[in-house]
Chains A and B, each alone.
Chain A
Amino acid sequence: MLTFLLEPFQYAFMVRGLLAVLIVGAVCAVVGTYVVLRGMAFFGDALAHSILPGIAVGYLVNGSASLFWWALGTAIIASLGIGAVTRHTKIREDAAIGIIFAGMFALGIALISTVRTYSVDLTHFLFGDVLGVQRGDLWLSIAFGGFVLLTIAALYKEFLVLSFDPVLALTLRMPVRLLDNILLVLVAVSIVVALQTVGVALMLAMLVTPASTAYLLTRRLPVMMLLAAALASLSGVVGLYASYYWGVPSGAAIVLASTVVFILVWYVRREKV
C-alpha cells in the first residue's frame, strides 16, 4: 500500500502534479465559495468554456509555450464582457451568457481542429493533463493562485457584505460595481490557474462541488472556505493517482473524486440540513 502511494513520487512530474492539484484545489474552492453563495455557477461554467478560443489561438501561434498568458487574457476579457452583457441587454441574463459561451466554445473547437494532432490536444484542453505540468506552469500557478487568495483575504469583509446584503453595501457607499468586477476577474484567474489540471469542460465542478460540500458541513464562511479547500485538495490527490495508475484524464478523475465526497457528505447530513 505504502509503495502504491509513494512509488509515483520518484518522478519529478508527479511531485509537480501534486503541488499543482493542491494549489488548484485551494484556489478554486475558496473562490468557489463565493460562486456558490452568490449563485454564479452558470457564469463560471460559461467563462471556463469561453477561454477555449484564446487557448486555441495561442496554441496555433506559438505552441504550448505561452498558453497560460493567452488563457489569462481571454479569461479576463470574457469575464468583464459577460458581466457587461448581463447588465446591458434585454435578453435574459442566462440566455445571454449561454449564447456567448456556446459560440466561443464552438470557435475554440473549430480552431483546434485545424491542427493535425487535434484529438490529443483537444482532450488535454478539455479534460486536463496534470502529469504534463511543467516547472514554469507551476510557478505561474503559485504566483496567480497566491494573488487570488491574497485578494480574497484583503477584501474579505467587502465581499462578505456584497454577497450577503448588496443593499447594505450600497448604503455603506461601497464601490459595488468595482468589487463585482474584481470578483469576476478572480474567478477568471482561478479558472486559468486550474486550466492545465482540470481542463475547461469540467471546470465548473472545481468551483462548485467542494464549496457545496463544505456548505453542508458548516455555517461559518471562513470554515466553509478552509473545508472546501481541504476537500478539493484531497480530491485532487485522488485524481492524481488515478491519472498516474490508470491514465484517466486528471480533470475527470478529480471531479469524480469530489463528486463522490459530495454524495457521501450529503447522505450523512441529509437529515440535518
Chain B
Amino acid sequence: MWKELERTNHLLRRVYAPHLPGAPILRLEGVSLRYESGVALDDVTFAVQTGERIAVIGPNGAGKSTLFKIIAGVLSPTSGEVHVYGGEPGEHVCIAYVPQRSQVDWNFPVTVADVVMMGRVGQLGLLRWPKASDWEKVYAALDVVHLRHLAKRQIRQLSGGQQQRMFIARALAQEAQLMLMDEPLTGLDVHSQEEVFSVLDTLKAQKVTVLVALHDLKMAAERFDRIILLNRRIIAMGSAEEVFTSEILLEAYGGHVHLVYDAEKTLAVSDTCCGEGEEAA
C-alpha cells in the first residue's frame, strides 16, 4: 500500500524517474522469473541502444510476453535487475507496451481518439483534464499512423492493421522512447504488415527504440537490426547470420521449425508452432 501512495504522490506532482546520461535505454541483468510451477524466464541479460529495432523470437511459451511485461514494470522478476536509462523501471512513463490484439475488449465504448488520449494520462498526472495541447499531440500521433480520418470511430470498426496502428499512435502520444510490441503482425495480411513497418520506419527516424515479439523468422531477419532468440533463456542474440544457424534454431524450436536451403545457400525458415488461432507465418 505504501508503494501505491508513493505512486499517487508522484503522479499528482508529476515526478518521473531521471534519465542518466550515457546509460543504454534498456539493460537487463540476470533477469529470472520463477513460479512454483516452473521457470518462465531464466537469467536473461542483454542491453539495447537507443533507436535499435529488435526482433524477439522464440516458440510459444518461450516467455516473450513475460519478458516484455517485466521490462514494462507490469511483472516483477524474482531475481535480476532491469535498468531503463540507468534507473529502475518503476517511475518511468516512457515505456509503452502495445498489447496483442486478442487481449483487447474491442466492444469497449471508446473512439480511436479516446484510446490514443489514454497515452497522455501518464504525462497529465492524476486529476488533470486533457488540454488543447494534449489533443494536438493525439492528432499529431494519429497523423503519423495515417488514422486521423478515423479518429471518431468506435474501435471495433477498424481493420486489424488499423487497430495495431492505433496502439502505436497511443505509444507516440505517450511520448514513449521504448516501445514493446507483442506480436503486432499476427493475423495481419501482407498489406497491413507493410503499413505497420512503414510506421516503424518513421519511429526509427525519431530514435524510438522498438522491441517486437514475432513468429515470422524471415521478417525478423530482413527487417530488424538485431534478433534475440528466446526460449526461457536467451539462446542466441545478434544479426540474422549469427542467430539463424541450423544448430541454434533446432536448439530453440526442436522439431517445430522448417529449415529450407534455397539455391544461394541462404536459410529460409518458418516457425510452425502457432497456437490460439494465429496464422502460420
Contacts and interface: CB of A to CB of B under 8 A. Distances in A.
Place the interface of chain A in its size category. 20 to 34
Contact of A173 (B7, B103, B104, B154): B7
B111 interface: yes
Contact of B108 (A164, A176, A223): A164
Nearest to B120: A157
Interface stretch (B25-33, B90-98, B188-196, B264-272): B90-98
Contacts of A177: 1, 4
Given A165-B99, A215-B109, A220-B110, A178 B4 contact: yes
Point out which of A171, A174, A175, A178 has the most chain B C-beta atoms below 10 A from its C-beta: A171
A161 B97 CA distance: 14
A171 to B, nearest CB: 5
A158 B108 CA distance: 15
Contacts of B114: 160, 220-221
B201 to A, nearest CB: 24
Interface string B48-65: 000000000000000000
Nearest to B127: A154
A221 B93 CA distance: 25
B10 interface: yes
A219 B109 contact: yes
- Chain B CB within 10 Å, residue with most, of A176, A215, A219, A220: A219
B23 interface: no
Contacts of B119: 168
Contacts of B69: 167
B74 A218 contact: no
A149 to B, nearest CB: 15
Interface string A77-108: 00000000000000000000000000000000
A137 B33 CA distance: 54
Interface in B1-46: 1, 4-5, 7-8, 10-11
B127 A220 contact: no
B11 A167 contact: no
A220 B122 CA distance: 22
B122 A172 contact: yes
A243 to B, nearest CB: 33
Interface in A140-176: 154-155, 157-158, 160-161, 163-165, 167-168, 170-176
Contacts of A220: 109-111, 114, 154
Interface in A179-197: none
- Between A167, A173, A174, A223, the greatest number of chain B beta carbons within 10 A of the residue's beta carbon is seen for A173
Given A154-B127, A167-B99, A219-B154, A173 B90 contact: yes
A158 B121 contact: yes
A224 B109 contact: yes
B124 A157 contact: yes
B199 interface: no
A178 B129 CA distance: 20
B8 to A, nearest CB: 4
Interface string A220-257: 11011000000000000000000000000000000000
Q: Which secondary structure dominates where chain A touches chain B?
A: helix
Contact of A171 (B73, B117, B126, B154): B73
B5 A175 contact: yes
Contacts of A165: 99, 104, 118
A164 B11 contact: no
A170 B118 CA distance: 12
Interface string A27-52: 00000000001000000000000000
A160 B92 CA distance: 21
Given A160-B110, A164-B108, A170 B72 contact: yes
A175 B4 contact: yes
Contacts of A178: 1, 4-5, 7-8
Contacts of A167: 69, 72, 74, 97, 99, 103
B130 interface: yes
Nearest to B96: A171
A164 B118 contact: yes
Contacts of A163: 108
A232 to B, nearest CB: 17
User: Which of A155, A165, A168 has its CB near the most chain B CB atoms (within 10 A)?
Assistant: A168
Contact of B91 (A154, A173, A175): A173
A82 to B, nearest CB: 17
Top-3 shortest CB links A-B: A219-B154, A172-B122, A175-B4
Interface of B: 1, 4-5, 7-8, 10-11, 69, 72-74, 90-93, 95-97, 99, 103-105, 108-111, 114-115, 117-119, 121-122, 124, 126-127, 129-130, 154, 156, 170, 174
16 contacts: A154-B127, A157-B124, A157-B130, A158-B121, A158-B126, A160-B118, A167-B74, A168-B118, A172-B93, A174-B7, A174-B121, A174-B126, A175-B8, A175-B11, A178-B8, A220-B114
